[in-house]
Amino acid sequence: MLIRTPSDIPSSEITPESVYLKRRQFMQGVGAAALGLGLPSAGFAASEDPRKSLDFSPVVKKDGNPFYTDEKTPSFAEASSYNNFYEFGTDKTDPARNAHTLTTDPWSVKVEGHVAKPGNYPLEDIIKLMTLEERIYRLRCVEAWSMVIPWVGFSLADFIKMFEPTSDAKYVEFTTLYRRDEMKGQRSSFSTIDWPYTEGLRMDEAMNPLAFMSVGMYGKTLPNQNGAPIRLVVPWKYGFKSIKSIVRMRFTSIRPKTSWESIAPREYGFYANVNPEVDHPRWTQRYERRLPSSLLSPSRIKTEMFNGYGEQVAGLYKDMNLRRNY
């Protein structure tokens, strides 16, 4: 994602009653403690605060399930030591080295804009109310590498429904934490990003069943370098859309300006759908390096349209020129 100088840049609808009641109390602003939410979400080992000691036992999924793939995953160590998280530096190994400085507790997500239920929602309440599940997704970076990651989290659509967006909500903007004293990259005078990092989705994209909020991976709490304590995962889009360490979601009627689009609009578009037919101005997007790879085993594979999720998402873009709307 390093860029050049500007001159080079040529549920089903039926909610079980118990869940409904819990959510209603939550939306009325009562904290989890007051609710007596002793119930851990499905799949969890009982724990006071699942965010701290996530120990998730996934239900095994089968082929044909869009939330699953049996492609090889890197080890946890590999997936948490090769990262893009510019708040902690621009080298792939910087986030693992520097992200321990991030405080993730307490954490809350501020919800604002065109919703009936705006507010500041503590993460532990969110996690207890959402149904956690595992999804094994391909993550394809715009830099032409990819990994297969087993995430733990919940459906973004289910999350959004809790805030009751109004008909004026056409987009949702996500914002990462801005905390210079804990995020080395935000203090750097060489940084190209106008902090905080922001991203956005059109509402119908956000409501697509594939869109996911992750709080864990490999059955464990999300490591800081992978976007703790809560991040977005949109597997049919280039990885930069999957914004990390989210503190704000704003529902808007106009398209939000996103970080990479603001820096280099000719290189990084708002849609950023994985598309082997539309090259990046400086490299091809036809192929990708599937990690882990090595000199002897480069693992170069063909990139799939929508990262292989066309069946689920192609309909979102059926009337759009994807060459123009990259």
In the complex, the residues that contact ligand MTE under the rule CB under 6 A are 1, 83-87, 139, 141, 176, 197, 226-227, 239-240, 242-245
Say which amino acid occupies 183: M
Distance of closest approach, residue 1 Cβ to ligand MTE, in angstroms:
5
Distance of closest approach, residue 20 Cβ to ligand MTE, in angstroms:
33
Distance of closest approach, residue 195 Cβ to ligand MTE, in angstroms:
9
Say which amino acid occupies 48: E
Sign of CA dihedral 48, 51, 54, 57: positive
Residues 6+ apart with CB under 8 A from 81: 93, 96, 225
Pick 37 or 79: Cβ nearer ligand MTE: 79
Pick 147 or 162: Cβ nearer ligand MTE: 147
Do residues 175 and 248 touch, judged by C-beta distance below 8 A?
Answer: yes
Greatest Cα pair distance, the chain, in angstroms, is 59
Pick 86 or 154: Cβ nearer ligand MTE: 86
CA distances from 115 to 12, 31, 172 (A): 21, 20, 11
Distance of closest approach, residue 92 Cβ to ligand MTE, in angstroms:
8
Which strand (E) or helix (H) includes residue 17? helix 17-27
Pick 162 or 272: Cβ nearer ligand MTE: 272
Do residues 200 and 255 touch, judged by C-beta distance below 8 A?
Answer: yes
Pick 128 or 244: Cβ nearer ligand MTE: 244
Do residues 140 and 73 touch, judged by C-beta distance below 8 A?
Answer: no
Q: What are 89's two structure tokens?
A: 């530096």
First to last CA, the chain: 16
Pick 154 or 197: Cβ nearer ligand MTE: 197
Strands 108-113 and 119-122 come out as antiparallel
Distance of closest approach, residue 237 Cβ to ligand MTE, in angstroms:
10
Residue recorded with tokens 């037919």:
277
Pick 147 or 203: Cβ nearer ligand MTE: 147
Distance of closest approach, residue 151 Cβ to ligand MTE, in angstroms:
10
Position closest to ligand MTE via CB = 239
